Structure 1
């Protein structure tokens, strides 16, 4: 029996998922993208958007984030929904992206990203900086400069944001960005449209670099509320430590025990690697405990298997008190 479906409809239904991209880029370039892997450091407002765009384009992913999904994230972190609250961001993102494109490889690392485990970036083709603190950015800059890995700087706050491609032979982050207070950061809010725009530009630059296209060391600025857009050509700074082979963040020995996050009233405390099973059993006697095997949540504290704890508190003293009471000294 002849199908009742029109010939054009049958043809459209038989097209593969990358058809429109192939029409633009060509078959060979699509194959190149499908053989590449991008690391997304920070799976938040920028990272969720950039990761989804790259996944839909056929690029495999390494997702790195130490944090858990909170209700306040849902305003701008587009991959997540209400059912993800309390889950590890890296794990929840992998679950969503695997449903979007099951043909790519997606690896998740719900860990504190530091100079002790940064070698996880060694096997990727590009790194996208979607973090919320300068210390991690400078660390990524050092490692990528040393290993000659291209990466994309991205940042957004309030209604504006910045993007810049950083390639091995060009200027690096420390050529134009000064150091700041590495232990604390303030929260002033952010519009979800600016994070989406910045992440989309990051993903576009990543695709161009993965395909061997030339990109200029241009720092792009966008203020979506005031409709301001500027570009600044960045040049190498003569005294830049990283460009001169001095990797201060990569070689850093000390690590802060307590760090205040941009999220209002949230602190990270580093401790010894815990026995999650026994702690969960202890907490369960006094209340409801949530977890996914790599972390457990109870009240205002989330404890990870690598020894990190995220604590909601008004002051660092209160955060340390909660940690000491529920986890130990």
Structure 2
């Protein structure tokens, strides 16, 4: 039997619970590929996969579902094909979209949501949506040699309660080893399975440094004036025209992308030539007011580059 080793731990009744569950995974990258595979092999009944990006050669160092033949293809589409080779009993729904306040309802059927994204704007959107709709979600992030995971319940502390002074570094600017991303994705997946099995899970922030073998469990206190906890859903109430905007330059592979940034903060983490008003790199030219001229093959790729390297 496919699940006989797993059923020794969770029982047949537990396995049935997993097969009747739906999990949404937002971001099919370093965290998302690992979580997708683990949950598919565990027998989750339905997986909802969301990613706007295409596979690049540099992804293969840590995005375990993909190989060289997949470069240039949609992450969501390829992930569905790979899962079909692993477990045909799993129903996979894919959305190759830029998740925003107008289309986030595609994840509403999920029993639990895994945040495997690479930018805070999307995370805050997930936070608002899940709090408003009383859905459990699991925050995850990895950088350099360490990462974090936290189950966030409809009652109790949310993402905004502990990320006010969070670092805006990304793995695209400071790097990451695949052992860190794999470990955090495994932690997210195990938390998800425990919650689906209705076992007790503490709403703590888990920190793991795989290089230094350090594991910490941090208690997060709910902020009295947290906007999301007080039902002020700022990110969910945004319209698409309030978010990142793109304009294609006719006849070229260049996109003009606009967003809200702290230019002085960006200067400290982007390697490029800065003249005080712009930052020039091999991928983009960033202006002080948040506008960027980006070389890309599509609007989705341009938005992805902006989010990963510059921020929201």
Q: Which TM bucket (shorter chain)?
A: 0.7 to 0.9
For 1:149 and 1:39, the matched residues in 2 are separated by 11
For 2:194 and 2:232, the matched residues in 1 are separated by 29
- Structure 1 unaligned spans of 5+: 1-15, 268-299, 316-329
Q: Which residue of 2 aligns with 1:86?
A: 72
Q: CA deviation at 1:196?
A: 0.3
For 1:117 and 1:70, the matched residues in 2 are separated by 25
3-state DSSP of counterpart to 2:206: strand
Q: Which residue of 2 aligns with 1:39?
A: 24
Q: Which residue of 1 aligns with 2:235?
A: 249
Q: Could you tell me which of 190, 206, 225 is aligned with 2:176?
A: 190
3-state DSSP of counterpart to 1:46: helix
Q: Which residue of 1 aligns with 2:191?
A: 205
Provide the TM-score with structure 1 as the length reference.
0.75
For 1:181 and 1:209, the matched residues in 2 are separated by 28
Q: Could you tell me which of 10, 25, 36 is aligned with 1:25?
A: 10
CA deviations over 1:225-261 (Å, ceiling 9, x no partner): 122221111121101111111001001131121269x
Number of residue pairs the alignment of both structures matches: 263
Counting only pairs closer than 5 Å after superposition, residues 103-122 of structure 1 correspond to structure 2 as 103-122=89-108
Q: CA deviation at 1:302?
A: 2.9
Q: Could you tell me which of 293, 301, 326 is aligned with 2:296?
A: 301
Contact 2:143/2:171, CA 8 A, preserved across alignment: no
CA deviations over 1:45-99 (Å, ceiling 9, x no partner): 0000001000001112000000000000000000000000000000011100111
For 1:259 and 1:70, the matched residues in 2 are separated by 24
- Structure 2 unaligned spans of 5+: 246-256, 260-269, 271-280, 285-294, 307-312
CA deviations over 1:11-38 (Å, ceiling 9, x no partner): xxxxx11111111100111001001010
1:31–1:166 CA distance, 2 compared to 1 (3 A): same
Superposition RMSD in Å: 2.6
Q: Could you tell me which of 125, 135, 143 is aligned with 1:139?
A: 125
Provide the TM-score with structure 2 as the length reference.
0.79
**Which portions of structure 1, spanning 4 or more consecutive aligned residues, are displaced by more than 3 angstroms?**
179-182, 264-267
For 1:78 and 1:188, the matched residues in 2 are separated by 20
Higher-Rg structure is 1
